[in-house]
Amino acid sequence: MIFDAVAGIFSHDLAVDLGTANTLVYVRDKGLVCSEPSVVAVTADSNGRGERVLAVGHEAKEMLGRTPGAIRAVRPIKDGVIADFEITEAMLRYFIRRAHNRAKLVRPRTVICVPPCITSVEKRAVRESALSAGAREVYLIEEPMAAAIGAGLDVTAPTGNMVVDIGGGTTDVAVISLSGIVASRSIRCGGDTMDEAIINYVKRKYNMLVGERTAEEIKIKIGSASTECKSEDMEIKGRDLVAGIPKVVVATSDEISEALIEPIHAIVETVHLTLEQTPPELAADIVDRGIMLVGGGSLLRDFDRVLRNETKLPILRSEDPFTAVVHGAGEALKDLALLKDVALT
């Protein structure tokens, strides 16, 4: 008993969902310990040679679009994959250290969730980032697989399960059976694309420029996948493109749903294409079991209804769409046989 307790202190294995929008860290025996935006603010080092990390997570996200010349607020993960290796490593190190409070000595076994479309070069980059951030053994699990486990689906059974993960950078659609992904498709279209669509719409319609953060707020507050639900208004503040001065307009949910037509269509289309690739026995299972939605983007109002109308399949939602992936990876951390089964080699 005492031995177990002592060993436990030194083996706080972790699971990390390194997302385009949010990074989540799960520590074995402790649960979810950190959930923060994947944003890092850096400034030039005083000796002028490199860059120094100023802030990570929430604090850094507040700075997005508001930094003076010397500070950069960076989102190091783009479209689900690492775009800035060094900054990702700094961010990982910060989160891993925070998960352990102090111990720099601890070198945990680490599970990292990666997009299914990841190339071998990108896999190596993720692995190396984690190793130099202090991990001991690194396992990679595909996000839809982790999401399915986290949403409580039995991924080892010979039954087809479909998962749709709408994240910040990508939407991943996968059909899982017998611990493997049988059919999958990913598109670089997710919450960020919706925000961009809103920025472009407001620019066209109101001759006004709004920032990324404002666009996201609009989407969450009044955005909708269809015009069928109750319309709401919202005051939007930005900069007039012609006069150059700040201005305020009132937008409605109907307008925002018009702005979101294209990204919603692209996501629905991806679900259709994946269903077309699915072997018939597994397709039959999906008719019975439905489609499991995860990822923050799936919270867009009325999206579930639109997908149900378009596919005629039952639509299920995971309990917490933001944490399904990291919880699934955490489950795998507890069950080494399952981890070896589902991890990428």
Ligand X SMILES: Nc1ncnc2c1ncn2[C@@H]1O[C@H](COP(=O)(O)OP(=O)(O)OP(=O)(O)O)[C@@H](O)[C@H]1O
Q: Which residues bind ligand X (CB under 6 A)?
A: 19-22, 80, 167-170, 190-192, 216, 219-220, 223, 295-297, 299-300, 322
Interface residue list for Mg ion (CB under 5 A) = 19, 167
The nearer residue to ligand X, 106 or 300, going by C-beta atoms, is 300
Return d(Cα 235, Cα 249) in angstroms, integer.
Answer: 6
- Say if CB 88 and CB 129 are below 8 A apart: yes
Return d(Cα 192, Cα 237) in angstroms, integer.
Answer: 19
Which of Mg ion, ligand X, none does 21 bind, CB closer than 5 to 8 A by kind? ligand X
Which of ligand X, Mg ion, none does 80 bind, CB closer than 5 to 8 A by kind? ligand X
Phi, psi of 274, deg, nearest 5: -70, -40
Fill in the DSSP letter of residue 299.
Answer: G
Which of ligand X, Mg ion, none does 118 bind, CB closer than 5 to 8 A by kind? none
Instruction: Find the shortest distance in angstroms from Cβ 22 to ligand X.
Output: 4
The nearer residue to ligand X, 183 or 294, going by C-beta atoms, is 294
Tokens of 148: 């399915």
Fill in the DSSP letter of residue 344.
Answer: B
The nearer residue to Mg ion, 21 or 208, going by C-beta atoms, is 21
Which of ligand X, Mg ion, none does 297 bind, CB closer than 5 to 8 A by kind? ligand X
Instruction: Find the shortest distance in angstroms from Cβ 76 to Mg ion.
Output: 15
The nearer residue to Mg ion, 63 or 324, going by C-beta atoms, is 324
Percentages of the chain per state (helix, strand, coil), in multiples of 5: 40, 30, 30
94-97-100 Cα angle (round to 5): 150
Which of Mg ion, ligand X, none does 108 bind, CB closer than 5 to 8 A by kind? none
Return d(Cα 191, Cα 21) in angstroms, integer.
Answer: 9
Q: Which residues, in sequence order, are CB contacts of 232 under 8 Å at separation 6+?
A: 221, 222, 252, 253
The nearer residue to ligand X, 80 or 159, going by C-beta atoms, is 80
The nearer residue to Mg ion, 167 or 223, going by C-beta atoms, is 167
Q: What residue number has its CB nearest to Mg ion?
A: 167
Q: Which residues, in sequence order, are CB contacts of 220 under 8 Å at separation 6+?
A: 299
Which of Mg ion, ligand X, none does 214 bind, CB closer than 5 to 8 A by kind? none
Instruction: Find the shortest distance in angstroms from Cβ 341 to ligand X.
Output: 22
